[in-house]
Structure 1
Amino acid sequence: MEQKRERFSSRLGFILISAGCAIGLGNVWKFPYITGQYGGAAFVLIYIAFLILMGIPILVAELSVGRGSQRSIARAMDVLEPKGTKWHWYKYLGMAGNYILMMFYTTVAGWMLYYFFKTAAGGFDGLDAEGIGAAFNTMLGRPGLMTGFMVVVVLICFAICAQGLQAGVEKITKVMMLMLLLLMIVLAVRSALLEGGEAGLEFYLKPNFGALKEYGLLEVLFAALGQAFFTLSIGIGAIAIFGSYIDKSRSLTGEAILITILDTFVAFMAGMIIFPACFAYGVNPGQGPSLIFVTLPNVFNNMPGGRLWGSLFFLFMCFASFSTVIAVFQNIISFATDLTNASRKKVIIINVIAIILLSMPCVLGYNLWSGFQPFGPDTAVLDLEDFIVSQNILPLGSLIFVLFCSWKMGWGWDNFLAEANAGKGLKFPNCLRIYIKWVLPLIVLFIFVMGYYSKFFAA
């Protein structure tokens, strides 16, 4: 007998959890450093334009498939597709995307947790920039340490999911997200008040379009396009599941816009924390991935009360990464409960073991398996896993959602529009049909092809 579908207890819960799924390391880790690399405010404006043009329509499509089917993507297209079509084959790509994402995300979330405890305990006190860099490399060289923190992340997040949708996922994520937003505001104010931080605010908030020529307009456009696309976690059904947990009282365009605004606010505030601090202490904000783990601990070391501010920063990073892990774990649980009659407890026990084992290649990729460098020197297993998800499954999955919602041989435009516009609130415009059916798929295909070009052929 089919189980009754769980429901969120409030609209706020839905918005915060859906945003929590989208809000993650892409916002607070990748967004600031690529903004730094591509010239600051001008890049941010282009990024926001692409969010509106691409991110919101795909988000509405994915939420509509979830709410229309009342299933996770393990069964959503089986329910909605025309008889005899094969859209349901997408389930294997979507489910794989969720699992591969967790194969490296749990490890990086473990790094955040380790850095929170290490900073709070004064582990970076008295170290210079070279010493802090060495501390990060020491952590990467200790598979037992990284495994321990990865396992703690997996156990905490599955324990929250085990409490159920309302009592666990919604209740805990709401608190976590509200604390994350509060921490961001406190840290941003502290950073803005640093002596010398004004130059960082100007770099971040005052557009310098001359910087676009310096980096090459096409490269900047592609970087902004990619970041806008990947920041919302669209394409693997991670958002669709939350559509399946809401009723039809609100139309989905307004909800998608709120999720996007919250996601963008967190990314923007991360920059408000990082850029004034970098400029105040003479640090290059475009240093890439090492910005969080090497550069910022050095900044906090030089800041009055640095241990407190550093601890709060990594606590906020833990909340950002945990919110995504919890959301994806909820999705993974829903796959099994939609496909089988297995109990939630049994599904969680099996997946705790599976995720820990699947996460081990990422952990070992920095030490015992460091000889495996899939994309050349200084790359590891994590880079391969991230490439599979970010450059392949996310764009191809998004393409499938868009085509499924706009083509007659799929769910179709009329069905999609009726679902998206059911309830009170902002309606999805019918006049966008041609754009959704033809233009948006071409943009997504362009991202997919350019991802390969920049990875393997660009100089």
Structure 2
Amino acid sequence: MNEERGSFGSRLGFILVSAGCAIGIGNVWKFPYVAGANGGAVFVLFYLVFLVLMGIPVMTMELAIGRASGKTVVRGYQKLQKKGQHWHIHGWLCMLGCYLLMMYYTTVSGWMVDYFFKFASGQFSRIDPENVGDVFTSMLADPEEMGIFMALTVIFGFGVLSLGVADGLERVNKIMMIGLLALIIVLAGHSLTLSNAAEGVKFYLLPDWNRAMEVGIGKVISAAMNQAFFTLSLGIGAIEIFGSYMSKDHTLTGEAVRICALDTFVALIAGLIIFPACFSFNVEPGQGPSLIFITLPRVFMNMNMGRIWGTLFFVFMTFASFSTVTAVFENLVAFLSDNFGWSRGKSILVNGAFILIASIPCVLGYNVWSDLHIIGARDVLDSEDFIVSNLLLPGGSLIFLLFCTTKFGWGFDKYLAETNTGSGRQMPAFLKNYFKFVLPILILIILIQGLIP
């Protein structure tokens, strides 16, 4: 193994960093509102089914390519593909996806830090609950404010990586993930004590098929399939890198199940924070992105000790977003070291400078460049997100799948042997036909759906 790239100091570190990569704003921001808009508990049920049917298999494939090659994604493909093949071209698209993701994710992560400071310093205590929406609007209108918090995220993120894989990435993510899990349980416990909380829990966890029929069962299934797929950030090699740092001691199926279980736990418990609070304060739970920045701050302001609960919530959101930022940054750093033979220090400096500059369009997209529409009527952030979420994630997952299951790529037998190396849960060989013929169709459906306006 390349000493310059380092490796994890412990198995727990690997699981927490990999889960941290998967656990992002989508779990806490997107999951509750998509569940709310799609009838609650029936959506959650289908979400769990698709996580097992799609998420875990594709995750084992990314991890298998990483562990079998010991390289980042381009070099990984080059090592495993047959002579004269060109699967590694997809590796370059993966890295494009990771760069694009960080060009807008750093801004959204900065929003979380900004709101943490606003709650902690008591700014929300000084305004009327009805004017909470103005706080979000004025933040978006101020490129300086957003730029500072975006830059803090980038500088601190690469600063963590400068300490190395085990001493930086692993140690900081361990602290953040343990803090995140503790915070989410405390916040959910508090939400469950609110008046009318039981109604929120019922909406969220007791399946009501009539409500699902009203939304349209096809729409609910489709939304669950999408959320289960996108929650794990599969398809752009963001998870593959952590396979390259793994030992052969444990099977990949077992590790993928643990990562998915942690990811799902955070998403489900986030719902237990949000739904009881929404029902206690008569707030519509299917409200979309404004739920986090307008609705929930209003709810916290109406609570006893709301300043403390709001501060804790945005600490939790900062941890959730920053764990993804550091994990994907690690991918970028290792990528340049692997492909160009650069030292870790040089790779961190070049990547840091590039991401700082490349994140500016997203910051300006809400104010100075608010008239700029790149894809259709989408602004900068939505355009970048569309390319990553609707094209590169499902398209990339399909390529990983075909590489691991067809004779034109690495092949199912080699994938299965790598996945089942070590102690723990085995991937059954009888799933071969499901992986080869059914799973590609499911991913194709998601890809096509994402391209239909």
Q: Same fold judged by TM-score > 0.5?
A: yes
Tell me if 1:285 matches 2:265.
Answer: no
State the Cα distance separating 1:222 from its structure 2 match.
1.1
- 1:337-352 aligned at under 5 Å gives the runs 337-352=337-352
Contact (CA 8 Å) 2:197, 2:277: kept in 1 or not?
yes
- 1:37 & 1:266 partners in 2: Cα distance? 19
Aligned residues: 453
Contact (CA 8 Å) 2:129, 2:301: kept in 1 or not?
no
Structure 2 counterpart of 1:41, one-letter code: A
| 1:235-285 C-alpha deviation (Å, 9 max, x unpaired) | 011001101101101011010000000000000010000010111011111
State the Cα distance separating 1:438 from its structure 2 match.
1.5
Give the aligned partner of residue 433 of structure 2.
434
| 1:67-96 C-alpha deviation (Å, 9 max, x unpaired) | 001001131100000111110111111000
Give the aligned partner of residue 272 of structure 1.
272
- 2:438 & 2:206 partners in 1: Cα distance? 31
Gaps of 5+ in 1: none
State the Cα distance separating 1:62 from its structure 2 match.
0.6
Structure 2 counterpart of 1:352, one-letter code: G
- 1:299 & 1:85 partners in 2: Cα distance? 56
- 1:74 & 1:118 partners in 2: Cα distance? 42
Deviates most, 210-219 or 175-184: 210-219
Give the aligned partner of residue 147 of structure 1.
147
Give the aligned partner of residue 13 of structure 1.
13
State the Cα distance separating 1:396 from its structure 2 match.
0.7
- 1:129 & 1:223 partners in 2: Cα distance? 32
Tell me the TM-score normalised to structure 2 length: 0.98
Tell me if 1:257 matches 2:260.
Answer: no
Structure 2 counterpart of 1:381, one-letter code: V
- 1:232-381 aligned at under 5 Å gives the runs 232-374=232-374, 379-381=378-380
Contact (CA 8 Å) 1:128, 1:298: kept in 2 or not?
no
Flag the 1:154–1:423 CA change in 2: closer, same or farther, 3 A. Answer: same
SS in 2 for 1:426: coil
| 1:277-334 C-alpha deviation (Å, 9 max, x unpaired) | 1110111111100000000000000000000000000000000000000000000001
Contact (CA 8 Å) 1:62, 1:237: kept in 2 or not?
yes
**How much is the aligned-residue C-alpha RMSD, in angstroms?**
1.2
Contact (CA 8 Å) 2:4, 2:343: kept in 1 or not?
no
Contact (CA 8 Å) 2:192, 2:272: kept in 1 or not?
yes
- 1:31-42 aligned at under 5 Å gives the runs 31-42=31-42
Contact (CA 8 Å) 1:129, 1:294: kept in 2 or not?
no
Flag the 1:106–1:5 CA change in 2: closer, same or farther, 3 A. Answer: closer
- 2:416 & 2:342 partners in 1: Cα distance? 34
Give the aligned partner of residue 413 of structure 2.
414
State the Cα distance separating 1:187 from its structure 2 match.
0.3
Flag the 1:41–1:449 CA change in 2: closer, same or farther, 3 A. Answer: same
Flag the 1:113–1:270 CA change in 2: closer, same or farther, 3 A. Answer: same
SS in 2 for 1:122: coil
Contact (CA 8 Å) 1:94, 1:236: kept in 2 or not?
yes
Flag the 1:2–1:340 CA change in 2: closer, same or farther, 3 A. Answer: farther
Contact (CA 8 Å) 1:70, 1:76: kept in 2 or not?
yes
State the Cα distance separating 1:5 from its structure 2 match.
5.4
| 1:369-404 C-alpha deviation (Å, 9 max, x unpaired) | 111234666x42111111000000000110011000
Deviates most, 384-393 or 338-347: 338-347
- 1:117-156 aligned at under 5 Å gives the runs 117-156=117-156
SS in 2 for 1:75: helix
- What fraction of aligned residue pairs are identical, expressed as a percent? 54
- 1:384 & 1:141 partners in 2: Cα distance? 19
Structure 2 counterpart of 1:285, one-letter code: P
State the Cα distance separating 1:3 from its structure 2 match.
4.4
SS in 2 for 1:287: coil
Give the aligned partner of residue 69 of structure 1.
69
Tell me if 1:452 matches 2:447.
Answer: no
Tell me if 1:391 matches 2:408.
Answer: no
Flag the 1:310–1:444 CA change in 2: closer, same or farther, 3 A. Answer: same
- 2:164 & 2:196 partners in 1: Cα distance? 48
Structure 2 counterpart of 1:406, one-letter code: T
